[in-house]
Amino acid sequence: MTLKDQLDKIRQERKEDIKDVVDLKKLDSLRVELLGKKGPITQALRGMRDLPADERPSFGQFANSVRDELQSAIETRRDELKKDMLNKQLEHEKIDVTLPGKPVAQGQPHVIQQIIDQIEDLFIGMGYQVLSGPEVEEDKYNFEMMNLPKDHPARDMQDTFYITKEILMRTQTSPMQARTLEKHDFSQGPLKMISPGVVYRRDTDDPTHSHQFHQVEGIVIDKHITMADLKGTLELVAHELFGDRFDIRLRPSYFPFTEPSVEADITCFNCGGKGCAVCKYTGWIEVLGAGMVHPNVLEMAGVDAEVYGGFAFGLGPDRFAMLKYGVDDIRNFYLNDIRFLTQFSKKG
Ligand code: FA5
């Protein structure tokens, strides 16, 4: 068999081999085997030396055409294999748009926020504005302008976390009374405002006390506001949140920033008034403090106490939530246990 015949045989046989290869790696080894330095074509070209001089050009041409043919067969096969791979991948990764989607868990406001929202809706309906104030507060607003000078003994009732001597975590939302009174322009009408937010105290945690809890402050100042207005407003809040299920009682109390002062209690949800650990065996749970704004508070904020007066209250939505839903430990609200929190769906 002549060298040319040998090459022709290789051309035909190996072209079939190339078509049969099913993966890219094998195709690459075949390419090296056929077209590499040790391959049959390079060998044949080397063997050209032994041919008579007049046969060399046509043989050379033939060898080159065999190499080009094999090369293009390899390239064609490579393209086919790549296309196959892509099709398989697409088939494999196909998205079935008819499959049901993964449900997205829907969040809801925290149960205390739900109570606050309800209180806000009620007061907005009565023409109050809703404002928020700083949780990191000045001693001046938290105590001094609330008629609690530096060494006032009533400060002991509300010890807190101090940032500096003059800056502290507010113990109550009452500083918002002073902040709004200072700014309010009475020629534009009465002041009617509520202010919900978080407050902090160095209270020891127990079933009804947390060192961090919420309050909603309220204040109404105008020319002819009486204690009857306060009582009517508080009864409305209790009725709105609890319906007729519970009794509310007002009892005399003391706050340096109101005179007279009251506290409001609601029948203990746990024992129905008989007395238990939750209500400390009193049958009542205290939910808010209130009173007629002290003239000193008005005067310190630049309001003429001879002309203007009114009431203020500070209620505890945490306690409201306990009563409304029968939660016997306030600490549950702050543990972030999703199983506990999802019980209070907004619709429920
Ligand atoms: C005050 O904080 C007054 N600023 C309320 C006030 C406002 C009186 C305006 C007069 C005029 P007191 O410390 O009682 O008052 O707290 C008010 C309410 O916050 C309580 O009735 C209770 O519902 C809630 N509260 C108080 N301490 C805690 C606590 N540690 N954990 C949970 N709730 C609390």
DSSP-derived secondary structure for 174-226: THHHHHHHHH--GGG--EEEEEEEEEE--PPPBTTB-SEEEEEEEEEEESS--
Cα 56 to averaged position of ligand 1 atoms, centre (Å): 109
Mean pLDDT of 199-216: 94
pLDDT at 345: 77
The answer to whether the beta carbons of residues 341 and 185 sit under 8 Å apart is: no
Q: Which of 182, 183, 177 is nearest to 197 (CA)?
A: 177
**Which residue has the least CA distance to atom 9 on ligand 1?**
313
* Counted domains in the chain: 2
- Estimate the crossing angle of helix 24-35 against helix 40-47, to 10 degrees: 10
pLDDT at 143: 97
Q: Which atom of ligand 1 is nearest to the CA of 319?
A: 23
E strands along 33-166, which residues?
Answer: 129-130, 136-138
Query: What span, in angstroms and rounded, lies between the C-alpha atoms of 235 and 248?
Result: 8
Do 215 and 329 sit in the same domain of this protein? yes
Do 288 and 330 sit in the same domain of this protein? yes
Do 15 and 159 sit in the same domain of this protein? no
pLDDT at 48: 84
Do 265 and 164 sit in the same domain of this protein? yes
User: SS3 helix, strand, coil % of the chain, rounded to 5?
Assistant: 45, 20, 35
Q: Which residues are annotated as a binding site for Mg(2+)?
A: 259
Cα 201 to averaged position of ligand 1 atoms, centre (Å): 10
pLDDT at 346: 63
Q: Which two tokens stand for residue 212?
A: 């961090």
Does any domain span residue 104? Answer: no
Cα 214 to averaged position of ligand 1 atoms, centre (Å): 9
Does any domain span residue 247? Answer: yes
Do 28 and 160 sit in the same domain of this protein? no
Confidence of residue 203 (pLDDT cuts 50, 70, 90): confident
Q: Which two tokens stand for residue 255?
A: 């706050």
Do 276 and 152 sit in the same domain of this protein? yes
Do 21 and 127 sit in the same domain of this protein? no
Choose one of 255, 266, 287, 298 to mutate for the ligand 1 pocket test, by most ligand atoms within 8 angstroms of C-beta.
Answer: 255
Instruction: State which residues form the domain around 306.
Output: 111-341
Q: What are phi and psi of 137, to 5 degrees?
A: -120, 160
Nearest 5°: the CA angle 286, 241, 158 is 30
Mean pLDDT of 295-322: 96
Choose one of 147, 282, 285, 319 to mutate for the ligand 1 pocket test, by most ligand atoms within 8 angstroms of C-beta.
Answer: 319
Whats the size of the chain, residue-wise?
Answer: 348
Q: Is the pLDDT of residue 255 over 60?
A: yes
Q: How far is CA 4 from CA 8, 48, 256, in A?
A: 6, 10, 116
Q: What percent of the chain has a predicted confidence (pLDDT) above 70?
A: 99
Model confidence over 25-46: pLDDT tens digits? Answer: 999 999 999 999 888 888 888 8
Model confidence over 165-182: pLDDT tens digits? Answer: 999 999 999 999 999 999
Do 248 and 169 sit in the same domain of this protein? yes
Do 234 and 122 sit in the same domain of this protein? yes
Q: Is the CB of 214 under 6 A from ligand 1?
A: no
pLDDT at 243: 78
Q: Which atom of ligand 1 is nearest to the CA of 157?
A: 13
Do 118 and 76 sit in the same domain of this protein? no
